[in-house]
Amino acid sequence: MQTNEFLNAMILTELEDAVGVENCSIKPIDKVTHSVDYYWLSRMWADRGRRMPEADFVVAPKDAQETSKVLKIANYYKIPVTTWGGGGGTQGGAIPVCGGIILDTKRMNRIYEVNTEGMYIECGTGAIYKHIEWAANEVGKATMHYPSSLTCSTVGGFLAHRGIGVVSTKYGKIDDMVLQMEVVLPNGDIIYTSPAPKHAAGPDLNQIFIGSEGTLGVITKAQIRIYDQPEERRFRGFLFQDMTGAFKASRELLQKFKPSVMRLYDPAETASLIKKIVGVEREGAFMNVAYEGVKEMVDVEEKILLDTFKKYGAEDLGSEYGEKWWEEKITFFYPGHMMDIPQMFGTMDTIAPYGKIEEIY
Ligand SMILES: Cc1cc2nc3c(=O)[nH]c(=O)nc-3n(C[C@H](O)[C@H](O)[C@H](O)COP(=O)(O)OP(=O)(O)OC[C@H]3O[C@@H](n4cnc5c(N)ncnc54)[C@H](O)[C@@H]3O)c2cc1C
């Protein structure tokens, strides 16, 4: 639908009624700042002085009820809505390519409950993930979700893109960590998914919205699992002569137990990134493995790890490099470590069954 000045003024009035005048903007500066996320293309355009597509309105509802009102208005006028969390997405999902409304979730940042019996935190999805990690730490727990964008991206952003962190091999991805979600559907209806997602009857509604990049609804509240801090967390760095041995060793180890961290860098990355950040000055493929939990279990896992990797000729580098890697775990992509404008790079994740990993690599 074509909008004009009169219609825009009408829509603006209705949006202001829904979320409050102060939470609704048509200022050029707000439109520009909600048009560039961490997608390489939008950053390159910004660097070259070009403007990305902008929204007509930037609105920030405070909860599901206000979100519902915004979506009903958008539905009535048939204008697009793009949800914006922290703007840290690397694939351009938050960019309002068709204009319309940017629905900024950052006012929905309340932590409602830290429940140490049910082991979850209930929060608004506009909360930055680091904030809920701090809330968990205050009661001696942890979220165990440590992506590199921990300090800038929101709970909703991680749910919407099916996020993964550095200890996901043991604790799972965000889809394993979420219990109940409150979601506002495109027609404005508010729904709640089951508080016990692994139930026997019916499909798990959470999985419809997780990874949907905001296209199927706005996630407004979530219960996120928390975990006990491990009694012990140990690290071990290894050097493999080639990737083939490293792939085989990893597959065999993962059949035996799940370490918390298992990161492999090929010889080129070992000679560049790992040398620079972790200090490994050797040729080969570096792998960092962490294992954690109750001390007795960790002792057993360590023995299995060393026995398994020895079979594939891995050189044991001890714990020093792994610990350094952990210290730097969320700074790998930060300025000074990675290329920055005017150099550009994009990131892309992929998955493969064991039998295809080497071919894909
Ligand atoms: C330096 C850096 C490192 C990164 N490292 C990792 C990593 O280790 N692991 C990882 O998983 N990701 C990583 N990312 C990617 C980033 O964290 C994700 O793309 C995440 O989705 C961004 O969240 P955000 O709150 O910034 O969302 P935005 O960029 O604002 O939005 C991302 C997408 O989610 C949608 N969305 C946001 N909030 C909601 C909501 N409440 N309801 C419905 N849809 C919503 C948006 O419409 C958009 O499609 C990294 C990004 C950067 C910049």
157 pLDDT band, cuts 50/70/90, is: very high
Q: Which residue has the higher pLDDT, 81 or 336?
A: 81
- Domain interval for residue 43: 5-104
* For range 104-121, the mean pLDDT: 98
Task: Indicate if the pLDDT at residue 323 is higher than 70.
Answer: yes
Within-domain flag for 215: yes
Structural tokens at position 238 = 């290894």
What integer pLDDT is reported at residue 165 of this predicted model?
94
Within-domain flag for 181: yes
pTM of this prediction?
Answer: 0.95
What integer pLDDT is reported at residue 12 of this predicted model?
97
Burial of 345 (0-12, 13-18, 19+ CB in 10 A): exposed
88 with 118, same domain? no
205 with 141, same domain? yes
76 with 119, same domain? no
Measured distance CA(274)–CA(226) in Å, rounded = 31
Residue with CA at minimum distance from ligand 1 atom 21: 157
* For range 122-144, the mean pLDDT: 98
Task: Indicate if the pLDDT at residue 325 is higher than 70.
Answer: yes
Ligand 1 neighbours by CB, cut-off 6 Å: 37-38, 82-90, 93-94, 105, 125, 147-149, 153-154, 156-158, 160-161, 163-164, 213-214, 218-219, 333
What integer pLDDT is reported at residue 202 of this predicted model?
82
List, in sequence order, every residue forming a beta bridge with 115; answer none if it has no partner. 120
Amino acid at 161: H
Within-domain flag for 357: no
What integer pLDDT is reported at residue 133 of this predicted model?
98
CA of 142 to the centre of ligand 1 (A): 20
Q: What is the CATH number of the domain that holds 260?
A: 3.30.70.3450
60 with 121, same domain? no
* For range 176-198, the mean pLDDT: 94
Q: Which residue has the higher pLDDT, 348 or 243?
A: 243
Top mutation candidate among 37, 66, 90 for ligand 1, by most atoms within 8 Å of CB: 90
Task: Indicate if the pLDDT at residue 2 is higher than 60.
Answer: no
Task: Indicate if the pLDDT at residue 1 is higher than 60.
Answer: no
213 with 236, same domain? no
Measured distance CA(184)–CA(192) in Å, rounded = 9
What integer pLDDT is reported at residue 168 of this predicted model?
96
Collapsing DSSP to helix, strand or coil, 181 comes out as: strand
User: How many of the other CB atoms lie within 10 Å of CB of 225?
Assistant: 20
Measured distance CA(276)–CA(272) in Å, rounded = 6
What integer pLDDT is reported at residue 101 of this predicted model?
98
* For range 61-66, the mean pLDDT: 98
Within-domain flag for 359: no
Tens digit of each residue's pLDDT (9 = 90 or more) over 209-226:
999 999 999 999 999 999
| Long-range pairs, 306-311, Cβ under 8 A, ≥24 | 306/236, 308/249, 308/252, 308/253, 308/256, 309/238, 309/249, 309/253, 311/249, 311/252
Tens digit of each residue's pLDDT (9 = 90 or more) over 67-82:
999 999 999 999 999 9
CA of 35 to the centre of ligand 1 (A): 14
Measured distance CA(106)–CA(38) in Å, rounded = 17
Task: Indicate if the pLDDT at residue 19 is higher than 90.
Answer: yes
Tens digit of each residue's pLDDT (9 = 90 or more) over 222-272:
999 999 999 999 999 999 999 999 999 999 999 999 999 999 999 999 999
Domain boundary among 204, 228, 252: 228
Within-domain flag for 360: no
Closest ligand 1 atom, residue 155 Cα: 25
Angle between helix 5-19 and 64-77 (nearest 10): 160
- Cα-based distances in Å from 221 to 2, 181, 205: 33, 6, 14
The phi and psi torsions of 252 (rounded to 5 degrees) equal -65, -40
* For range 98-112, the mean pLDDT: 97
Top mutation candidate among 148, 153, 206 for ligand 1, by most atoms within 8 Å of CB: 153
- Cα-based distances in Å from 297 to 142, 253, 261, 291, 318: 20, 15, 16, 9, 19
181 with 281, same domain? no
CA of 295 to the centre of ligand 1 (A): 35
Q: Which residue has the higher pLDDT, 56 or 339?
A: 56
Closest ligand 1 atom, residue 150 Cα: 17
Measured distance CA(122)–CA(130) in Å, rounded = 14
CB 243 within 8 A of CB 269: no
What integer pLDDT is reported at residue 186 of this predicted model?
97
* For range 89-118, the mean pLDDT: 97
Measured distance CA(213)–CA(160) in Å, rounded = 5
221 with 130, same domain? yes
* For range 51-65, the mean pLDDT: 97
Domain count, the chain: 3
CA of 308 to the centre of ligand 1 (A): 36
CA of 38 to the centre of ligand 1 (A): 9
199 with 248, same domain? no
| pLDDT mean across residues, the chain | 94
CA of 238 to the centre of ligand 1 (A): 31
201 with 296, same domain? no
Task: Indicate if the pLDDT at residue 338 is higher than 90.
Answer: no
Residue with CA at minimum distance from ligand 1 atom 15: 89
Task: Indicate if the pLDDT at residue 59 is higher than 80.
Answer: yes
Within-domain flag for 150: yes
Structural tokens at position 231 = 């009694």
Within-domain flag for 38: yes
Top mutation candidate among 149, 173, 184, 185 for ligand 1, by most atoms within 8 Å of CB: 149
47 with 84, same domain? yes
316 with 246, same domain? yes
Write out 321-348 in H/E/C secondary structure: HHHHHHHCCCCCCCECCECCCCCCCCCC
Task: Indicate if the pLDDT at residue 116 is higher than 70.
Answer: yes
CA of 113 to the centre of ligand 1 (A): 23
* For range 152-175, the mean pLDDT: 96
Closest ligand 1 atom, residue 163 Cα: 11
Measured distance CA(144)–CA(181) in Å, rounded = 19
Task: Indicate if the pLDDT at residue 3 is higher than 70.
Answer: no
149 with 256, same domain? no
